[in-house]
Copies of this chain bind each other. A is one copy, B any other.
Amino acid sequence: MSGALPSGLRRAIELFSRLPGVGDKTAARFAMHLLSGDRALARALGEALLDLDAAVVTCERCGYFADASEGRATCAICADPRRDDRVLCVVARVQDLLGFERSGAMRGRYFVLHKLLSPLDGVSPADLPMQALVARVADGVEEVIVATPPTVDGEATALYLARELRPSGARVTRLASGVPHGGDLEFADQITLGRALEGRRAIE
């Protein structure tokens, strides 16, 4: 069957299917939509993706994204003078940073690791940007909030970071773990309930 597909179409489907969570069928649906319905979108998206690599650079200070089209090497968050320089929130992924930004609860700066320790995926301590993080913490940071996810890899990374940052003298904290807001205790798993008990706080 696939022999009947024009080669340009086959290639677009193959590349679409390399996006996260996109299988062959979804990739084909994307390509068909562009060809049958919206060829202008194909051109616009093509240009935007070619532009993406050039226009968006990794912030040299925190690992988030900076707007190269405005000639910046540091991101809007690092450039914001109203942020608290004493608090540094370390996240695994840019998406996590954006989650904190949406919450509005984080007034400090960020540092994006872009990866977590993972023996299965072959990510060892040497693959983490430790030198940059240590230098960043030495620059007046008093508290490092390790906001890696509450998974095996996330916890291992948090423990490793805490140990490596001990000589810096900064306080290293971890996100609270417990039942989520609006969650149902009946359906919470045992580890989550155990942590929620462990981390219980006095009602003031």
A residues adjacent to B (C-beta < 8 A): 1, 3-9, 11-12, 15-16, 18-22, 26, 28-36, 38-39, 41-56, 58, 65-69, 75-77, 93-95, 98, 101-102, 114
- Minimum CB–CB distance for A160 against chain B, Å: 21
Q: How far is the CB of A8 from chain B (nearest CB, A)?
A: 3
Bound Cα distance A31, B93 (Å):
13
Contacts of A50 on B, CB cut-off 8 Å? 42-43, 46-47, 50
Question: Which residue of B7, B31, B49 is within 8 Å of A12 (Cβ)?
Answer: B49
Which chain B positions have C-beta within 8 A of A75? 4, 6
Chain B, Cβ-Cβ closest to A98 = B1
Are A48 and B8 neighbours in the complex by a CB distance under 8 Å? Answer: yes
Please name all residues of chain B whose beta carbon is closer than 8 Å to the beta carbon of A93 when the two chains form the complex: 32, 36
CB <8 Å contact, A32 and B67: no
Q: Report A71 CB to chain B, min CB distance, Å.
A: 12
